Amino acid sequence: MKSCILCNFLSDPYLKFLSFPLIHILLIQIQLSFCFSSREMLILPLKTQVIPSGSVPRSPNKLPFHHNVSLTVSFTVGTPPQNVSMVIDTGSELTWLNCNTTRNNYPTSFDPTRSSSYRPVPCSSATCTDKTRDFPIPASCDTNKLCHATLSYADSSSSEGNLASDNFIIGSSEISDLIFGCMDSTFSSNSEEDAKNTGLMGMNRGSLSFISQMGFPKFSYCISSTDFSGLLLLGDANISWLVPLNYTPLIQISTPLPYFDRVAYTVQLEGIKVSDNLLAIPKSVFVPDHTGAGQTMVDSGTQFSFLLGPVYTALKTEFLNQTTSVLRVLEDQNFVFQGAMDLCYRVPLNQPTLPQLPTVSLVFRGAEMTVSGDRLLYRVPGQVKGNDSVYCFTFGNSDLLGVEAFVIGHHHQQNVWMEFDLEKSRIGLAEVRCDLAGQRFGVGL
């Protein structure tokens, strides 16, 4: 362990798959600092690299499509340590690693037979019988009486293996006996790409999530919209000197409901504005119904944001109305980006910048998240119509995915400080230049 030079400073007052030749991945470099005042805090810088498609894990969350941008952390696991790379996913509980070493091209898989500290979890243990209750599919007992976990997703892909514990080493900090899934069997509609997956870091509120096992009272991240630099901060830090946060409470429902994820980061969406126009949508539309359908989840494992059909249609209509004079709609009913994003535009290839666009504000209880500029339209790689490139609206229709929820993806969290306060059951957010915030924390210097 080493002391942190920043300590005094910080204490100061689911559809069609797409394959892209290259994908931008946010890699958290192994440059960590440790502060020990009342609690330990880890600061992890974010840095972008361009990596061939499929060479890092695709987040296997409930939205079954390939991300071209994922938030990824790299560190080591086991004794002796093995390098792994994992997608940070606030929408999942179980942290897992791909342990299938029988196929070729597994440069970052985890081999449990090479780790002397690896311990499978017996199915009779309290970890297996009690702490897996929030898993979508209950844990079971395999023929060796070991705790068996199965993950299943909306695109019919699945992954299964045993729960186990091992030592996770982040920088010079070692987390002993962390529970994770050692997944050795996968079935996927795109097995060639998924075969290269390494794993996923589950960060939701479940008892077996990475953040819950670490015992941190909160964590934060901030992603730049320009070069995707930024930082992940694990632990408690007073950042009032940086930016005042607006907080929205986390919604909790104790009664199990079929369509409500009780360990997700669920907030209450109350409305949507396009520029200053509040869409004429009753607030009741944003409230989960008696089945739990209609919750609003903040999910770092999903790239874009998705809205239930009626809300999406209202937003699409208003955005169209306000952009008629500056954007040319793509008139192709057969083209739907990632199966759920059907509002696309043609932009001349020789046009260096997008025109001035109206803002879209997500109004939460106690806080707002405003999406503007380039974050509203996404250039579809490889799509050219005549002399035009294709840009699609970065909000999609969750009804087309078969997902009964509003999902706020990380694309719309760029240049927003996102604080997940587990102790006070709330999320804090504020607009901030994430590249400058990283510099203030001594990251990226």
Q: Which residues are catalytic?
A: 89, 299
* Cβ-based neighbours of 64, under 8 Å, separated by 6 or more: 14, 15, 153, 154, 155, 156, 157, 401
CA distance linking residue 169 with residue 178, whole number of Å: 10
* Residue in the structure block whose two tokens are 């009342």: 38
Residue 67: half-sphere exposure toward Cβ, Cα within 13 Å = 28
CA 57 to chain centre: 12
Asked if residues 416 and 306 have their Cβ atoms less than 8 Å apart, the reply is no
- Return the beta strands (E) in 114-224 as ranges: 119-120, 140-141, 147-152, 158-170, 173-187, 199-202, 218-223
The C-alpha torsion from 336 through 337 and 342 to 343, rounded to 10°, is -140
* Cβ-based neighbours of 215, under 8 Å, separated by 6 or more: none
Strand, helix or coil at 438?
Answer: helix
CA distance linking residue 237 with residue 40, whole number of Å: 10
Asked if residues 134 and 87 have their Cβ atoms less than 8 Å apart, the reply is no
* Residue in the structure block whose two tokens are 């997956």: 197
Strand, helix or coil at 317?
Answer: helix
Asked if residues 313 and 343 have their Cβ atoms less than 8 Å apart, the reply is no
